[in-house]
Amino acid sequence: MKKIENSTPRKDGYRMPGEFERHSGTYIIWPERPDNWRLGGKPAQNTFVEVASVIGKYEPCTVLVSSWQYANAREMLPDYIRVVEMSNNDSWVRDCGATFLVNNEGNLRADDWSFNAWGGLVDGLYFPWDKDDMIAQKMCELEHADRYRLDDFVLEGGSIHTDGEGTLLVTEECLLSAGRNPDKSKEEIENILKEYLNVDKVLWIPKGIYNDETNGHVDNMCNYVKPGEVVLAWTDDVNDPQYARSKEAYDYLTNEVDAKGRHLKVHKLLIPKKPILITQEESEGVDAVDGTLPRQEGDRMAASYVNYYTGNGFVALPVFGDEHDELAIEKLKELYPDRNIEPIYAREILLGGGNIHCITQQVPFRK
Ligand code: KQY
């Protein structure tokens, strides 16, 4: 498939649809690296099987897997999941994968951003990341989609959410971080986003979730339910370090309008009641390797129900065995009356540093 030179999605009439729009399918990458997933990824693999199995009930789901783990993944996943061998550095397809775009005729293209493992040599989470940086291109081959490759612009899919109608949500904490595009101003970054996602307005939430190792990805903090309506991670506990972050975001969002001039409706979604901390057993199960973020006993993980995935007729919602799980389920049932809410116990994904949204990537519906 072609790398498109000298043009942009905006010039060519392609846009990134909202995740809540109809999909052709979903991609996931199989977890295995022992310095990120405990016990060589075995517990996480069970959860990934659960996530893929749920998604595959509603839309085609493809799991990408290294040659080393291919036979195991094929054995563990149900037959209705497509399993494709693809080399990788880790399993965060939201971030290293293609950002797919469509035009009014229903044709598919993609943005292929530069990926540097969430901050490169400044504060990135592992080295090297060369295989991950090729995942988007390979997904485009599988989907028969031409791509726009941005060699000079670092971005992860988890750091953007769009309403598909011209507005993009990001956080300043992430997009202006020192390890991504330090040579570009906020205005330059905004212009690239407008050109490559075909949006007219970027909403800059100041910060994401406390202790999020991605420098505050928006997909853990705020998500579009539909155009004009978002959910925001929230706590009422003013002593929680999350409080000031959520309050600042709430104040910002409720005082802004989107690209179409709408005031946003902001739904608060409580984070887990009790902070979710890494246990000694969990910490000891992860290989401590120089150059990879350590997993230390007692560290607070960036648990948020906002990191859910919206697909055809369903929402896959991470739950944590916390008192607030039920509130999150009820809230999402209210917000998505036409979709099944599928709660999945996701502690093992959280331990790897993200959640269900971070391990999935949608392919929008194409004709
Ligand atoms: O949350 C994400 N989008 C990815 C987190 C990566 C963590 C790597 N340890």
In this prediction, residue 280 has a pLDDT band, given cuts at 50, 70 and 90, of very high
Coil/strand/helix, residue 109: strand
Query: Which of 37, 38, 90, 92 gets mutated to test ligand 1 (max ligand atoms within 8 A of its CB)?
Result: 92
Query: Mind listing the pLDDT tens digit for each residue in 128-156?
Result: 999 999 999 999 999 999 999 999 999 99
φ/ψ of residue 261, rounded to 5: 80, 10
Assigned token pair, 10:
């905006």
DSSP string, 40-66: GGHHHHHHHHHHHHHHHHHS-EEEEE-
What gap in Å lies between CA 305 and CA 269, rounded to an integer?
Answer: 7
358 is catalytic: yes
Residue nearest to atom 6 of ligand 1 (CA): 353
Is the pLDDT reported for residue 349 higher than 90? yes
Query: Mind listing the pLDDT tens digit for each residue in 333-345?
Result: 999 999 999 999 9
CB 344 within 8 Å of CB 318: yes
State the average pLDDT over residues 146-172.
98
The pLDDT, as a whole number, for residue 112 is 98
Average pLDDT of the chain is 97
Ligand 1 neighbours, Cβ below 6 Å, are 36, 92, 94-95, 125, 158, 213-214, 217, 293, 352-354, 358
Closest atom of ligand 1 to 292 CA is 9
What gap in Å lies between CA 346 and CA 367, rounded to an integer?
Answer: 34
CB 20 within 8 Å of CB 310: yes
Closest atom of ligand 1 to 90 CA is 8
The pLDDT, as a whole number, for residue 291 is 79
Residues near 261 by Cβ (< 8 Å), separated by ≥ 6?
A: none
Query: Could you state, in order of their start, the residue ranges of all structural domains in the chain?
Result: 9-364
What gap in Å lies between CA 252 and CA 245, rounded to an integer?
Answer: 11
The pLDDT, as a whole number, for residue 216 is 98
User: What torsion, rounded to 10 degrees, do the Cα atoms 191, 195, 198, 201 define?
Assistant: 10
Enumerate the H helices of 172-314 as residue ranges.
172-175, 186-197, 241-254, 280-284
Is the pLDDT reported for residue 293 higher than 90? no
Ligand 1 centroid to residue 220 C-alpha, Å: 10
What gap in Å lies between CA 93 and CA 110, rounded to an integer?
Answer: 14
Residue nearest to atom 1 of ligand 1 (CA): 354
Residue nearest to atom 3 of ligand 1 (CA): 358
Record the pTM.
0.98
Question: Class of 9-364 per CATH?
Answer: alpha beta
Sheet-wide strand order for 146-154: 99-102, 108-114, 146-154
Query: Mind listing the pLDDT tens digit for each residue in 357-366?
Result: 999 999 999 9
Q: Which residues pair with 268 in a beta bridge?
A: 232
The pLDDT, as a whole number, for residue 292 is 81
Pairing relationship of beta strands 222-226 and 201-205 according to DSSP bridges: unpaired
Is the pLDDT reported for residue 294 higher than 90? no
What gap in Å lies between CA 107 and CA 89, rounded to an integer?
Answer: 30
Nearest to 277 by CA among 292, 297, 305: 297
The pLDDT, as a whole number, for residue 237 is 98
Closest atom of ligand 1 to 212 CA is 1
- From 61, 96, 140, 358, active-site residue: 358
φ/ψ of residue 109, rounded to 5: -135, 180
Assigned token pair, 100:
């797919």
Query: Which of 95, 123, 173, 175 gets mutated to test ligand 1 (max ligand atoms within 8 A of its CB)?
Result: 95
Is the pLDDT reported for residue 290 higher than 90? no
Closest atom of ligand 1 to 352 CA is 9
Ligand 1 centroid to residue 354 C-alpha, Å: 5
